[in-house]
């Protein structure tokens, strides 16, 4: 439950080593969040920064590729810190289209994490938030899923599925007191994209985190980071496929 000042009190980060996820959590702790659960494979997550900021930090084991464990993980987190004010699934695999072309099994495994894992944890979290009667699920989508490009169409198609799932889940939760925020960042400069050439209108994890916190404050349902990407993709959606196909990789 939010505290007396209206600030978020408890946060669950799924993907406890995520740069974007940790940047969001750090901002929420600075603004008053007191209890944080970092869920990561092997229960290994960097807790030092959050502890220095004064948060009570708990670390749980979480494997995005094992959906049969996800419902229990959500319940364990709630049993540890109480009602969950903000849940942030921040896990995924960027992968390489060239690798996927050569190894369809690898493509299927990564899609199972990037889409299936989010569906499983999202539904489990939504059930908990609905029972509580409050709370926000932050879904980290991507502009890669708004219109899928040939350069990364396996990754983009998973993000397209995730974006659609998040919108449908938001509608399903309407009136329950719980809600979903869909975040659509552009190319994020960071550990996951190291060595890649940044795309136009690239952003940092810090900028994405700032957009998420603003959405939590203003109750926005969709966040584009940077905001001008919304207009850019309104145009890109209208491009004829022969032109879209020829865009730089």
Q: Which residues are catalytic?
A: 155
Sign of CA dihedral 82, 80, 127, 87: positive
Tokens 């004010």 belong to 85
237-244 contacts, C-beta under 8 A, 24 or more apart: 237/146, 237/147, 244/147, 244/149
What per-residue string of b and e applies to 109-148 under the rule 16 or more CB within 10 Å gives b? bbbbbbbbbbbbbbbbbbebbeebeebbbbbbbbbbbbeb
| Contact assessment for residue 60 and residue 43, using Cβ atoms and an 8 Å cutoff | yes
Which pair of structure tokens corresponds to residue 158? 């998973």
CA distance 171 to 117: 20
């Amino acid at each position: 439950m939010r505290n007396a000042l209206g600030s978020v009190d408890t946060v669950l980060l799924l993907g406890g080593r995520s740069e974007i996820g940790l940047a969001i959590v750090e901002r929420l702790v600075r603004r008053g969040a007191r209890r944080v659960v970092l869920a990561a494979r092997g229960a290994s997550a960097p807790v030092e920064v959050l502890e220095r900021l004064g948060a009570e930090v708990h670390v749980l084991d979480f494997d995005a590729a094992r959906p049969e464990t996800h419902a229990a993980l959500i319940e364990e987190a709630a049993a540890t810190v109480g009602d969950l004010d903000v849940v942030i699934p921040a896990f995924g695999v960027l992968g390489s289209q060239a690798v996927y072309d050569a190894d369809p099994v690898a493509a299927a495994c990564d899609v199972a994490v990037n889409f299936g894992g989010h569906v499983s944890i999202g539904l489990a979290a939504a059930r908990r938030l609905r029972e509580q009667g409050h709370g926000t699920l932050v879904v980290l989508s991507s502009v890669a899923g708004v219109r899928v490009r040939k350069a990364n169409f396996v990754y983009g198609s998973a993000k397209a599925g995730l974006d659609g799932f998040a919108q449908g889940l938001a509608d399903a939760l309407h009136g329950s007191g719980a809600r979903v925020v869909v975040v659509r960042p552009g190319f994020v400069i960071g550990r996951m994209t190291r060595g890649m050439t940044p795309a136009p209108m690239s952003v940092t994890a810090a900028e994405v985190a700032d957009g998420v916190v603003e959405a939590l404050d203003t109750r926005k349902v969709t966040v584009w980071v940077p905001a001008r990407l919304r207009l850019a993709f309104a145009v890109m959606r209208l491009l004829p496929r022969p032109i879209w196909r020829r865009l730089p990789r």
